[in-house]
Amino acid sequence: MLGNAHIAVVVPAYNEALLIASTLRTVPAYVDHVLVIDDGSVDGTSEIARSVGDERVRVVQHACNRGVGAALATGYALALEAGADVVAVMAGDGQMHPDDLTRLLWPVVNGEVDYTKGDRLSHPLARLHMPRWRFIGNHVLSTFTRLCTGSALRDSQCGYTALSRRALESLPLDGLWHGYGYPNDLIGQLCLSGAAVRDVVVRPIYGSERSGIRVWHALFVIPWVLLRVLWRRIDSPRTRPVSISVGAESE
């Protein structure tokens, strides 16, 4: 536990056999549940995750690849069932430094905000460590996300996040965008509900992992998701975002 909060970490993974074990071994000891959602991997990701031998780890497999947003929705639902007060997300490819997790969690644990989101773009080493096209592309997509959601979050595409149980219970998980673009959809849903959100600067890590994001995701898929977000915001002007920027399945 962290403070008095029950903490769960969701780890969406697709064909991460090379990195999943090392990722799971870095999850801090204060985390109560580690929920690995294998999204239809064909490389033995689930077997390797189970072999880590951590009693906190629970592995759930999607029968087929449904998309990272669908894996996240499955993990969120399981975290609620497990009684988590706060749910964080760490990718299965080792791109999220475990030492940053505590800083992401504390504002949610303390009740300051409902949702914290990693901000790699504001890190002083971002230009050096991030591939140039990702650095530029993330800035562009983040700008459009701010315009469409009304939030002030600076790095919309970062998947390193923490979410309160209260805010999670208000989300329509079945309606969350299943593929790439889910972070933008999730931000839109949270802002529409009036949730308080906050940036937390995290380290940009790029190594041997392979991104599944392609050019068409950035040019077509994510813009389409943002149009949906904007339409929901126009169609439902009842709430306003509170945005705070600082620094068949088997088990």
What are 83-95's pLDDT values in tens digits? 999 999 999 998 9
Of 49-53, 104-108, 133-137, 139-143, minimum mean pLDDT range: 133-137
Q: What is the CATH number of the domain that holds 54?
A: 3.90.550.10
* Residue 216 pLDDT class (50, 70, 90 cuts): low
Return d(Cα 109, Cα 251) in angstroms, integer: 29
- What rounded mean pLDDT belongs to the chain? 90
pLDDT in the model for residue 222:
85
Would you say residue 241 has pLDDT above 90?
A: no
Would you say residue 10 has pLDDT above 50?
A: yes
Of 65-74, 126-135, 176-185, 229-238, minimum mean pLDDT range: 229-238
- The DSSP code sequence of 173-211 is GGGS--STTHHHHHHHHHHHTT-EEEEEE-----SS---
Task: Yes or no: say if 185 and 221 are a contact pair by the CB < 8 Å rule.
Answer: no
* Residue 210 pLDDT class (50, 70, 90 cuts): low
- 107 part of a folded domain: yes
Count of domains forming the chain:
1
Query: Which range of residues forms the domain containing residue 239?
Result: 7-250
- 160 part of a folded domain: yes
% of the chain with per-residue pLDDT over 90:
74
- 198 part of a folded domain: yes
pLDDT in the model for residue 248:
42
- 2 part of a folded domain: no
- 1 part of a folded domain: no
pLDDT in the model for residue 152:
94
Quickly tell me which residue has 């950035």 as its tokens.
218
* Residue 245 pLDDT class (50, 70, 90 cuts): very low
- 29 part of a folded domain: yes
- 140 part of a folded domain: yes
- 175 part of a folded domain: yes
